[in-house]
Amino acid sequence: MWPTTPPDRAPRRLAPLVATVTGLGAVAAAGSVAWLAGLFTPPPATPSWPALAAYLAVLTASDVLSVRVRIRSTIQGVDWTDAVMLVGLATLPVPWVVLAAGVAVLIAKSVRRVPPVKVVFGAAKNMVVALVGGLVLLAVPGQAGLGWLVLAFVVLTLVDLLLVVPVLARASGTSVTERLRSNGDIRLVALAARLAVALAAVMVLERAPTLVYAVPLLVLLAHVWHEQWVRTREERRAWQELAAATASFAAADLDTLLRNAASAGIRLFSAERLEVELWLHRPRRMVRAGPAGPVFDGDPADAPPEPELPHAHQVPLHGCAAHPDIGVLRLRFRHRVRLSEREQAMLASYASALETAVRNAAGAGQLRGADA
Domain-by-domain residue ranges, the chain?
12-239, 248-371
Q: How would you write the chain as a 3-class SS string?
A: CCCCCCCCCCCHHHHHHHHHHHHHHHHHHHHHHHHHCCCCCCCCCCCCHHHHHHHHHHHHHHHHCCEEEEECCEEEEECCHHHHHHHHHHHCCHHHHHHHHHHHHHHHHHHCCCCHHHHHHHHHHHHHHHHHHHHHHHCCCCCCCHHHHHHHHHHHHHHHHHHHHHHHHHHHCCCHHHHHHCCHHHHHHHHHHHHHHHHHHHHHHHHCHHHHHHHHHHHHHHHHHHHHHHHHHHHHHHHHHHHHHHHCCCCCCHHHHHHHHHHHHHHHHCCCEEEEEECCCCCCEEEEEECCEEEEEECHHHCCCCCCCCEEEEEEEECCCCCCEEEEEEEEECCCCCCCHHHHHHHHHHHHHHHHHHHHHHHHHHHHHHHC
- In tens digits, what is the pLDDT along the chain, a chain of 372 residues? 434 333 334 456 677 888 899 999 999 999 999 999 888 777 888 888 888 888 888 888 877 776 665 555 455 556 778 888 988 898 889 999 999 999 998 888 877 777 788 888 989 999 999 999 999 998 877 666 788 889 999 999 999 888 888 877 776 666 677 666 666 666 777 778 788 878 877 877 777 666 655 666 666 666 667 667 767 777 787 788 888 888 878 766 888 888 888 888 888 888 888 999 888 777 889 889 887 788 888 888 888 888 777 788 888 888 765 557 888 999 988 777 788 888 888 888 988 888 888 888 776 655 455 444
pLDDT computed for residue 257 by the predictor: 87
pLDDT computed for residue 5 by the predictor: 39
pLDDT computed for residue 136 by the predictor: 92
- Enter the CATH code of domain 248-371: 3.30.450.40
- Enter the CATH code of domain 12-239: 1.10.1760.20
